[in-house]
Amino acid sequence: MTSKIGSTVLGYPRIGPNRELKRALESYWSSRTGEAELRAVARELRLDSWRALRDAGLDSVPGNTFSFYDQVLDTAVTFGAVPPRYAELGLGPLDTYFAMARGVESMPPLEMTKWFDTNYHYLVPEIGPDTRFSLADRTPVEQYREAAEAGVTTRPVLVGPLTFLLLSKPAAGAPEAFRPLDKLAGLLDAYAELLGELYRAGVEWVQLDEPAFAADRSQPELDALREAYQRLGALGERPNLLVAGYFGDLGAALQVLASSPVEAIGVDLVAGTSTVDSLSSVRGLQDKTLVAGLVDGRNVWRTDLDKALATAATLLGSASEVAVSTSCSLLHVPYDVEAEENLDPQVKSWLAFAEQKVREVVVLGRALQAGRDAVAEELAAARAAVADRAQADRVRNNRVRARLQAMRPEYTTRSDYENRRAAQQKSLRLPPLPTTTIGSFPQTTDVRKARAALRAGRIDQATYRQRMREEIERVIHLQEELGLDVLVHGEPERNDMVQYFAEYLDGFASTDNGWVQSYGSRCVRPPILFGDVSRPKPITIEWASYAQRLTEKPVKGMLTGPVTILAWSFVRDDQPLADTAKQVALAIRDEVNDLEAAGIRVIQVDEPALRELLPLRAAQHEAYLDWAVTSFRLATCGVAESTQVHTHLCYSEFGDVINAIVALDADVTSIEAARSRMEVLDDLNSVGFGRGVGPGVYDIHSPRVPEVAEVADLLRAALAAVPADRLWVNPDCGLKTRGYVEVEAALKNMVGATAEVRPSL
């Protein structure tokens, strides 16, 4: 007789409530401490989480959710998929792991990319025809034992075999037709071996995560899913299997899993908005456990428990057990809202971070098992919080709503590009191939220190402003000396391109300790967007106009676009994202218009996250791109013909968003291109881009200084695709993370190369 799942969460944060793991990792990487110290910190963090989850009253506690860096990399290591070039470094197991994650001097790391549509990043495994899977590492078994010794029974969580292979890329040198999925059979052998060992260690339930099936999948991929779980399900000695799909509806994969021998299926009922309706037509759930993801695992709002219970009630007949869970792992939210001492108490009362969400799950579980009366108090408290938020004054701003209501088509259109171009040329008088940068200059220790001192109250606003002005002055003079054509103020006053704006906009709250893992030891603290957004007063005008007063050359005003602001914040769940985006756009529009009024003739609105919010399913792309483009245009179309609007995107593989980039209708778009040798320009031509474009001529992610000849070559390559009067010259991205020595040398060569190419035009 196995135990029920009852109430559980699909995963938990692991960086530590006070980022203990971050500190321990960084200390180990800089050789200040050794492996034993790092392992000791990790062990404490694991034990603390397991005990906390058990003590909170969860019926089933997830295990193996700890990672030194990333769970996908862990899976690769567990099953022996370490690319030979890392194994050959001759390092110990832990350092080989970190070499794959971060690189070593002689070897760059594995590629890193976004985990579905979250802000978490995983390392991309490389699988080739020669990859031999085996059970190479037994961490999942060891951690099960470790928890058991501490008195906690856990349910080891693994990335599922399909998701692992679907997220992998073919190893270099693999034949053209090779797909990592071709290696499924061998990988399943290794999974089978691990499941056998877990079973013999006493494990009752294992969770296999298959979020890849919340995205569009081909029939062969669905067939592979069927095969895999038939195969694993047919094993004689194995734990019960919970297969969890999240970040959206499972679509056809739900029926595949329901027809397989697995004992439980986890569904995301928050992002998967049509799952509940589809359940009635799914056959085969009757003898399974349905793990209902009712509590949002990746946003910070308190759950409407009444609503969740009502949803749960509709599921009751569909499966043999309905268990309660989070929609996905809690990895994507901070630990504890109670740790926020400076958060507005009313806003705080609407929030639930990981610890609070665990309690919500427990309450829902009790309500289902013992009836609502057993948790009447908790339900009443949740009801009151939800009601308070729904009618709170600070959530609604009728002026903002009225402005959006009154929105007319001319708010999102500008005159013809050719007219704009003529007017801008008359106003700006730029040379051919104008040179510029993406916005930020290196953030010096002095700048960081000044910001820390302001926060700690050691210096006052006036002193801080003075320091920033001095920095701006330095940056402007440097750019003049280098001979750049369109200058920037350097963004010294910004901690982060989203956080900075959130701090000045109404409708946003910031946390002190709301850290979320982005990748490895890197954490971010996303702002919380809780209400209608407006801009109480100008934000950047003071800095931009100060910079413009110092020079005759045009200074480019620098703003973050609405989509990027949303992508890097926790967003409201009480209205469509499209509505929120338009509100943010209006606030940015005010700033754009004020920059223009202050005499700034070039304004850049960055949208590096445009592609990040792209829905996982293609059927939803059009609707998303429609509001994303409208928001950008709403922000930027309020200016005169002669004002030049720029945008910046950090990548060059536009894929599904390429038409949207044309539709943004920016006068100039700067993009990443150095690494792909300007090929992106042909892609843009193929969709009739026909606007100004600044393909990055060198890669700022590396400290390497490009040679003049190299940049000149790239410019000539670019000129083959773009007419001279539309081509701009700039680095790939902002210079914030670089040092001044290399930045000066690189920009000098960039300007030098431009001077070399110009006479031939």
Binding site for Zn ion (CB under 5 A): 608, 650, 733
612 labelled ligand-binding: yes
Residue nearest to ligand GLN (CB): 734
The interface partner of residue 439, options being ligand GLN, Zn ion, none and the CB cut-off 5 to 8 Å by kind, is: ligand GLN
The interface partner of residue 440, options being Zn ion, ligand GLN, none and the CB cut-off 5 to 8 Å by kind, is: ligand GLN
Torsion of Cα atoms, 257 then 259 then 263 then 267, to 10°? 40
Helix (H) or strand (E) holding 18: none
What's the half-sphere exposure (Cβ side, CA atoms, 13 Å) at 250? 31
Binding footprint of ligand GLN, residue count (CB under 6 A): 13
183 labelled ligand-binding: no
Helix (H) or strand (E) holding 238: none
The interface partner of residue 558, options being ligand GLN, Zn ion, none and the CB cut-off 5 to 8 Å by kind, is: ligand GLN
The interface partner of residue 736, options being Zn ion, ligand GLN, none and the CB cut-off 5 to 8 Å by kind, is: ligand GLN
DSSP bridge pairs for 741: none
606 labelled ligand-binding: yes
Contacts to ligand GLN from residues 598-627, by CB under 6 A = 606, 608
Report the nearest approach of Zn ion to the CB of residue 734 (Å). 6
User: Considering only 46-54, 106-114, 272-280, 731-739, which stretch makes contact with ligand GLN by CB under 6 A?
Assistant: 731-739
Q: Do the Cβ atoms of 379 and 306 come closer than 8 Å? A: yes
Q: Do the Cβ atoms of 512 and 340 come closer than 8 Å? A: yes
What's the half-sphere exposure (Cβ side, CA atoms, 13 Å) at 85? 14
Contacts to ligand GLN from residues 646-675, by CB under 6 A = 648, 650
Residue 286: exposure state from Cβ atoms within 10 A (0-12, 13-18, ≥19): exposed
Q: Where are the alpha helices (DSSP H) in 303-416?
A: 305-315, 345-348, 354-370, 376-391, 398-405
Binder of ligand GLN out of 157, 558, 571, 750 (CB under 6 A)? 558
Catalytic option among 332, 489, 646, 701: 701
149 labelled ligand-binding: no
Report the nearest approach of ligand GLN to the CB of residue 632 (Å). 14
Site map 471..510 versus ligand GLN, x via CB under 6 A: --------------------x-----x-------------
650 labelled ligand-binding: yes
Kindly state whether residue 556 participates in binding ligand GLN, applying the rule CB under 6 A.
no
Instruction: Tell me if residue 701 is catalytic.
Output: yes
733 labelled ligand-binding: yes
The residue with tokens 């754009």 is: 592
Report the nearest approach of ligand GLN to the CB of residue 474 (Å). 17
21 labelled ligand-binding: yes
Task: Give the whole-angstrom CA distance, residue 181 versus residue 170.
Answer: 9
Report the nearest approach of ligand GLN to the CB of residue 608 (Å). 4
The interface partner of residue 141, options being ligand GLN, Zn ion, none and the CB cut-off 5 to 8 Å by kind, is: none
The interface partner of residue 46, options being Zn ion, ligand GLN, none and the CB cut-off 5 to 8 Å by kind, is: none
Nearer to Zn ion, 435 or 647 (CB): 647
Q: Which amino acid is at 276?
A: V
Kindly state whether residue 736 participates in binding ligand GLN, applying the rule CB under 6 A.
yes
Helix (H) or strand (E) holding 663: helix 658-663
Torsion of Cα atoms, 361 then 367 then 370 then 376, to 10°? 120
Count other C-beta atoms under 10 Å from residue 90's C-beta: 7
Work out the angle between the directed axes of helices 354-370 and 305-315 (0-180°, nearest 10). Answer: 50
43 labelled ligand-binding: no
Site map 421..460 versus ligand GLN, x via CB under 6 A: -----------------xxx--------------------
Nearest residue to 164 (alpha-carbon basis) of 194, 208, 128: 208
438 labelled ligand-binding: yes
* 677 Rama sector, left if φ>0, alpha if ψ -120 to 50, beta otherwise: left
The interface partner of residue 731, options being ligand GLN, Zn ion, none and the CB cut-off 5 to 8 Å by kind, is: none
- C-alpha angle 293-296-298 in degrees, rounded to nearest 5: 120
Task: Give the whole-angstrom CA distance, residue 41 versus residue 749.
Answer: 46
* HEC-encoded secondary structure of 111-165: CEEECCCCCCEEECCEECCCCCCCCCCCHHHHHHHHHHHCCCCEEEEEECHHHHH
**Residue list for the binding site:** 19-22, 114, 119, 438-440, 491, 522-523, 568, 606, 612, 648, 650, 672, 733
Which residues bind to ligand GLN, rule: CB under 6 A?
A: 438-440, 491, 497, 558, 606, 608, 648, 650, 733-734, 736
**Residue list for the binding site for L-homocysteine:** 438-440, 491, 606
Q: Mind telling me the catalytic residues?
A: 701
**Residue list for the binding site for L-methionine:** 438-440, 491, 606
